[in-house]
Amino acid sequence: MSENFEYDVLYIGAGHAAHDGAAPLAATGVKVAVVEEDLIGGTCTNRGCNAKIALDQAVMATRNAEHLGNMLQGNLTIDWPHTMAHKQAVIDPQPADLRRKLTQAGATVLTGHAQFQDAHTVLVAGTPHTAQNIVIATGMVPHRLAIPGTELAHDSSDFLNLPQLPKHLTIIGSGYISLEFATIANAAGADVTIMLHGQTVLRHFYQPYVQLVVADLKRRGVTFIPTANVQAFARQGDQYQVTYGHDQHLTTDWILDATGRVPNVADLSLDQVGLTAGPAGIPVNQYLQTAVPNIYAAGDIAATGQPKLTPVATYESKYLMRRFSGQTTAALKVPAMPSVVFTSPRIAQVGETVAQAQEQGDTVRENDLAHYWYYQLDREPIAQSLQIHDDQGRLVGATEVSDHAPDAINALLPAITYQLDSDQVSQLVGIFPTLGYAAWHRA
Ligand SMILES: Cc1cc2nc3c(=O)[nH]c(=O)nc-3n(C[C@H](O)[C@H](O)[C@H](O)COP(=O)(O)OP(=O)(O)OC[C@H]3O[C@@H](n4cnc5c(N)ncnc54)[C@H](O)[C@@H]3O)c2cc1C
Ligand SMILES: NC(=O)c1ccc[n+]([C@@H]2O[C@H](COP(=O)([O-])OP(=O)(O)OC[C@H]3O[C@@H](n4cnc5c(N)ncnc54)[C@H](O)[C@@H]3O)[C@@H](O)[C@H]2O)c1
């Protein structure tokens, strides 16, 4: 691409927003460098999705056993240290595997903290490296409450590495991380209290389904404190005191600050190139270019209006790969992005929401899946779904609450992505009897 620079493309960060595109790009012969100061693979692989879902396996096994009831004998309990060891065994090899994937494709991996010197030069641990194009893929980091004692609280990475499960956990916030980790900790035997900012739990999800999940967690012993107005954390012997509400106090063994994530631009020297980050990240145009045309941003750090999720980071990384290798000059067009919260039951959704359907005049059909034979196989007590069709009868949105929800939504996805009509949908014939088949044939 360029003879004036050491690299054609240099990525800052080695999460999905970088490595998913960087490796195939390097394989096309483009000169690629990836700079990482921590573990290759970034948040999702090491301290996010993969780590979390490894811990969740034991939770799902106990839920399954609970639902099957008298078909199984004996009580199942979760052994936390062994569950944690399982997570380590799955996750620990991944950074090295991903490094191999990058270097075998021909990319150079540079280790250290990257900082802008100018629009084509990045300092890595003090050494300058130049590139024609630079991709900022630095992700986000946990938000910390600005209150006295905030340093006594932990973040999601700490939870995912807990050697022993505390007896009582207090979680601040009621988003994805709060509800997923409350589900895991509660199933593994901890007492959990969730302190809400306002009244709403999982604000991005269909609230009638959220209420089913909340009611189930309450039944299992999780306490929800709405509008908690958390004011301070303090040590109290071996424990901690949370001050909230109107001078109320709660004693706990461990505090998780799950109040969201903020752009990771610390010591990146964005000012050297005239860029700034807002709360949603660094502004980009429809080609993922920042205000400096040869500097791009992708994944969580890019303020695109897309949710901060791994499939988005991967999609954007692959888009940039096609752009840098000359395979496209088109603007980025993101397809319907599904999302899920890994509670039990899970809530998964894709496409149009019920609120949007009401505005558009589209048709919402609800299904009580607990009475559908396929969902009776494992006796799931909470299982509901809804599908949204447009005026031509095409599926444009779907939401499900059940332990099967993510797979059911994945099965419906092709129809929404490709806007299939009912004749085309009838050509999607799945294996029977499976969840993928049931997702289409249960009305
Ligand atoms: C607990 C948790 C659970 C999650 N679960 C899910 C899930 O189930 N499904 C889902 O889709 N999403 C999930 N997410 C979100 C998902 O992890 C992110 O959307 C995804 O990791 C974004 O990828 P990224 O490459 O943009 O950023 P990251 O993965 O955060 O990668 C950024 C990388 O940049 C490096 N870096 C930063 N600054 C510098 C610098 N100056 N120099 C060098 N290196 C630098 C960092 O060390 C990091 O490795 C979860 C997130 C968390 C925190
Ligand atoms: N299954 C998944 O896909 C998954 C799982 C975990 C995380 N993630 C990603 O990571 C991001 C971060 O997760 P998260 O749960 O930290 O963020 P979130 O945005 O989902 O939730 C943040 C919560 O903190 C609350 N909050 C904000 N300020 C507060 C304050 N001052 N006091 C009390 N509560 C406050 C909010 O009301 C909200 O309930 C998610 O938005 C998502 O992009 C995805």
Query: Three-state DSSP class for 414?
Result: helix
Is the CB of 138 inside a 6 Å radius of any atom of ligand 1? yes
Note the pLDDT tens digit of each residue in 179-191: 999 999 999 999 9
Q: Which fold has domain 150-259?
A: FAD/NAD(P)-binding domain (3.50.50)
Asked if 295 contacts 273 with a C-beta cutoff of 8 angstroms, the reply is yes
CATH fold for the domain made of 345-441: Enolase-like; domain 1 (3.30.390)
Average model confidence (pLDDT) across the chain: 97
pLDDT band at 2 (very low <50, low <70, confident <90, very high): low
How large is the average pLDDT for residues 276-281? 98
DSSP line for 129-148: EEEEEEEE---EEE----ST
| Digit-coded pLDDT (tens) for 314-330 | 999 999 999 999 999 99
Protein residue whose Cα sits closest to atom 30 of ligand 2: 197
Give the DSSP per-residue string, 292-342. Answer: STTEEE-GGGEESSS-S-HHHHHHHHHHHHHHHTTS--SPP------EEE-
203 vs 175: CA distance, rounded Å: 7
Q: What is the DSSP letter of 167?
A: S
Instruction: Tell me the torsion sign for CA atoms 418, 420, 426, 432.
Output: positive
Does residue 423 carry a pLDDT above 90?
yes
Instruction: Consult the annotation and say whether 174 binds a ligand.
Output: yes
Rounded CA separation 419/3 (Å): 45
State the average pLDDT over residues 237-255.
98
Is 359 annotated as belonging to a binding site? no
**269 annotated to a ligand binding site:** no
pLDDT in tens, 394-405: 999 999 999 999
For ligand 1, is residue 155 a contact (CB within 6 Å)? no
Are residues 230 and 116 in contact, defined by beta-carbon separation less than 8 angstroms? no
100's tokens: 């191999």
**pLDDT above 70: residue 209:** yes
Please give the Cα distance from 169 to 9 (Å, whole number). Answer: 44
370: pLDDT confidence band, cut at 50, 70 and 90? confident
The tally of CA atoms less than 13 A away on the side-chain side of residue 442 is: 30
pLDDT of residue 3: 75
The yes-or-no verdict on residue 88 having pLDDT over 60 is yes
Domain ranges of the chain: 7-141+262-324, 150-259, 345-441
pLDDT, one tens digit per residue, over 103-119 is 999 999 999 999 999 99
Here the tokens at position 394 are: 């095409």
What's the 360 CA to ligand 1 centre distance in angstroms? Answer: 35
Asked if the domains at 7-141+262-324 and 150-259 fall in one CATH topology, the answer is yes
Q: Is the pLDDT of residue 218 over 90?
A: yes
Is 0.90 topped by the overall pTM?
yes
pLDDT score for 443: 55
R_g of the chain computed on alpha carbons: 23
SS3 (DSSP) at 405: helix
The DSSP call for residue 152 is G
Ligand nearest to the CA of 320: 1
Distance 285 CA to ligand 1 centre (A): 21
Rounded to 5 degrees, what are φ and ψ at 138? -90, -5
Kindly report, residue by residue over 153-162, the tens digit of the pLDDT: 999 999 999 9
Between CA 261 and CA 2 the distance in angstroms is 36
Residue 13, marked binder: no
Percentage of residues in the chain having pLDDT higher than 90: 97
**Which residues on neighbouring strands pair with residue 240, listed in sequence order?**
235, 252
Per the listing, tokens 């954390």 go with: 233
| 3-class DSSP state of 436 | helix
For the segment 44-86, what is each residue's pLDDT rounded down to a tens digit? 999 999 999 999 999 999 999 999 999 999 989 999 999 999 9
Quote the pLDDT of residue 441. 79
Arithmetic mean of pLDDT, 248-273: 98
Reduced to 3 states (helix: H, G, I; strand: E, B; else coil), residue 128 is strand
Question: Ligand 2 centre and the CA of 175: distance in Å?
Answer: 4
d(CA 82, CA 361): 51
Q: Which CATH number fits domain 7-141+262-324: 3.30.360.10, 3.50.50.60, 3.40.50.300, 1.10.3210.10?
A: 3.50.50.60
Q: Which residues pair with 136 in a beta bridge?
A: 12, 297
Of 159, 184, 210, 261, the residue with max ligand 2 atoms within 8 A of its CB, to mutate for a pocket test, comes to 261
